[in-house]
Amino acid sequence: MTGLVLIAASGLAREVLASVRRSGEHTVIGFLDDDPSLAGAVIDGVPVLGAVSAAARHRGAEFVLCAGKGADRAAIAGRLALLGIGPDRCATIVDARAVVSPGCFVGSGSVLLANVVLTAGVRMGNHVVAMPGVTFTHDDVVADFATFTAGVSLGGGVRIGRGAYLGMNSTVREHCAVGVGAVVGMGAAVVTDVPDGETWAGVPARPLYPSAVRRIDGTMGRRA
Give the tens place of pLDDT for each residue, 97-126. Answer: 999 999 999 999 999 999 999 999 999 999
Task: For residue range 5-20, list pLDDT tens digits in order.
Answer: 999 999 999 999 999 9
Residue range(s) occupied by CATH 3.40.50.20 in the chain: 2-89
| SS3 state of residue 20 | helix
CB 198 within 8 A of CB 179: yes
pLDDT value at 220 more than 50? no
Task: For residue range 24-41, list pLDDT tens digits in order.
Answer: 888 999 999 999 999 889
Alpha-carbon distance of 208 to 59, in angstroms, equals 45
Of 164, 158, 130, 168, nearest to 144 (Cα)? 164
Alpha-carbon distance of 169 to 110, in angstroms, equals 20
Predicted model pTM = 0.90
Domain 92-205: CATH architecture, name and number where available: 3 Solenoid (2.160)
2-89 classified as CATH 3.40.50.720: no
Residue range(s) occupied by CATH 2.160.10.10 in the chain: 92-205
* Average pLDDT of the residues in 81-91: 94
Mean pLDDT for the chain overall: 92
* Average pLDDT of the residues in 71-86: 96
pLDDT value at 217 more than 60? no
